[in-house]
Amino acid sequence: MSTSTDRSTGRSTGRSAGPGTEHVDVVVVGAGLSGIGAAYRLQTERPGTSYVVLEAREAMGGTWDLFRYPGVRSDSDMYTLGYSFKPWRDGRSLADGPSILRYIEETAAEFGIDEHVRYSSRVVAADFDTATCRWTVEVEDPRTGERRSLTCGFLYSCAGYYDYDEPHHPDLPGIEDFAGQVVHPQFWPEDLSYADQRVVVIGSGATAVTLVPAMLADQSGNGGSAPAGHVTMLQRTPTWISAVPRVDRNAERLKRVLPPAAAHHAIRAKNIAFSTAFYQFCRRRPQQARKLLTGLTTKFLGDPQLVADHFTPTYDPWDQRLCAVPGGDLFKVIKSGAAEVVTDRIASFLPEGIRLESGRVLEADVVVTATGLRLRAFGGISPSVDGVEVTLPEQHTWNGAMVTGIPSFAVCIGYTNASWTLRADLTHRLVCKVLAWTAEHGYAAAVPTPDGDLGSRPLLDLAAGYVQRSIDAFPRQGDKAPWRVRQNYVLDAATTLRSDLGRTLTGLRPRPTAVPAAPDTAATAATDTAEPGLVDA
């Protein structure tokens, strides 16, 4: 069988599946933190596997290439958000976006993954054919609209669950009357100057708490703006926010006394243990967790009433994701008077700013709508089987990765209460295990098969608005393993890769198809050919 060559790299990545159609073993969708990690695992745990990484944008990095707003950074420590196989060398525990992007690019180059990436390749359709046990993936170039197809044995979506093209747009009455500039962090203008201007940031999630201190710092050295004159964070309700150290001093001590690889694994284990324990503490002792967080915030702000009014939510810690602020930077700019937090609702926009329901008017030159993102299942892929689109809310996830009713398909979804990459890497390794199991048993594909009543719960168990707005479009999770999505890396690491795949996976084999007989060979009309079809194990 002939070999296919990637025209953009010259590297052989697959086989011909017929005239003009390339075939690879695995298609990975998305060249962000998850997609590059998936490619590494395919190379190391399934050597010889042909694969391509399809990236809709013109550069790798995913989230860390898309978001360019001032101060963009991680809200998980980089020792666990980074890859287990490539130590994070920077001393900062919470890293800025450009540093994370460089880390992803360096990883891809170091392991030759960049040669497998196809840019400007948006997946617009994916259909699994039970007659061939193959996926046909239709790809569009967003720049030209040109379409092409390739086939694969396994389709792996590592494109996250946010809509990269369209953020959430809440109802903001009268916003068209505002005379200033309105900006959404997802599409930050490169030339935006807010120097000495009055800025209102609407929202109190991770993006908002990052933007407020960043817009008061001088970004001109990085090609950004000089500091704003004043920044107001306008929130409808408070969010739990915790100050964290900029530099992990215990990690730095370990780096001084241990070899680099050993230090990396020790720091990673330490941080996993701490984050898991703190999450369990918050869930099991919510009143004590509330006291701890409000106490820490009061130490920074020095005003218990300010903390009670603006930093004490009605919900318990980790009912929604906890926001982290390095060095308490948000609290410091509020205490200095350079920033203010206002808890109120918008009545309407005015030419000069925002009128609140309390009657107060916030004057503004720039309004930043940090009002959240939109969820989009599987990076916008709508999988179909034999031309029939799968109704995702009717399906269940298996080990938080594969989906009932969709053969040889997986989706990478990280943790909501810990670093995304921890679960992502488990999922990558699980996919490799499924590929090995499929090959060892002579199957062409595999599909999760329910083993009784699974129960039904939302896939993401968070009360956050961005989750509740869209989660009904996603598959469900069950009440028991392997159908339940646990938010516990320690348990997952101990059990996920040791599960008996044969208990809940069904293998699929090619089914021979009869060849139409020639007029003079009717007696041999049932002769089989090598054309595959579907046979359950």
pLDDT value of position 11: 41
Under CATH, which number does the domain 21-165+375-509 receive? Answer: 3.50.50.60
Residue extents of the structural domains in the chain: 21-165+375-509, 180-369
Determine how many CB atoms are found less than 10 A away from the CB of residue 378: 26
Q: Are 102 and 256 in contact (CB under 8 A)?
A: no
Identity of the amino acid at 42: L
Neighbour count for residue 382 (Cβ, 10 Å)? 14
Q: Is-contact 129 116, C-beta < 8 A?
A: no
Nearest to 14 by CA among 151, 158, 148: 151
Tokens 């958000």, located at residue:
81
Q: How many residues does the chain have?
A: 537
Coil, strand or helix at 114: helix
Rg of the chain over Cα atoms, rounded to whole angstroms, equals: 25
Tell me the two tokens of residue 166: 């369209």
CB contact at 8 A, 477 and 483: yes
Give 370's contacts (C-beta < 8 A, 6+ positions apart): 184, 185, 201, 202, 203, 205, 207, 208, 211
Other CB atoms closer than 10 Å to residue 112's CB: what's the count? 12
pLDDT per 10-residue tile (average), the chain, 537 residues: 37 50 96 98 98 98 95 94 94 92 98 98 97 97 97 96 81 95 94 97 96 95 91 98 93 94 95 95 97 98 98 95 95 98 98 98 98 82 95 93 97 92 97 98 96 81 66 84 90 90 92 54 37 34
* Reduced 3-state DSSP string for 238-287: CCCEEEECCECHHHHHHHHHCCHHHHHHHHHHHHHHHHHHHHHHHHHCHH
Task: Decide: helix, strand or coil at residue 162.
Answer: strand
* Alpha carbon distance 471, 376 (integer Å): 9
Please calculate the CA angle 289-290-294 and round it to the nearest 5 degrees: 120
Contact between 200 and 354 under an 8 Å Cβ cutoff? The reply is yes
Helix (H) or strand (E) holding 432: helix 420-440
Instruction: Please state, in angstroms and as integers, the Cα–Cα distance from residue 159 to each residue in 32, 35, 343, 389, following that order.
Output: 7, 7, 34, 19
Q: Identify any residues that bridge with 134 across adjacent strands, giving them in sequence order.
A: 129
Residue 39 φ/ψ, nearest 5 degrees: -60, -40
At residue 106, the pLDDT reads 98
In degrees and rounded to multiples of 5, residue 530 shows phi and psi of -85, 5
**Quick check: pTM over 0.85?**
yes
| C-alpha pair distances (Å), 134 with each of 25, 31, 130, 150 | 9, 22, 7, 10
The type of residue at 221 is G
Cα dihedral value 133, 159, 323, 231, nearest 10: -160
Residue-level pLDDT at 168 = 79
The residue whose two tokens read 């360096």 is 106
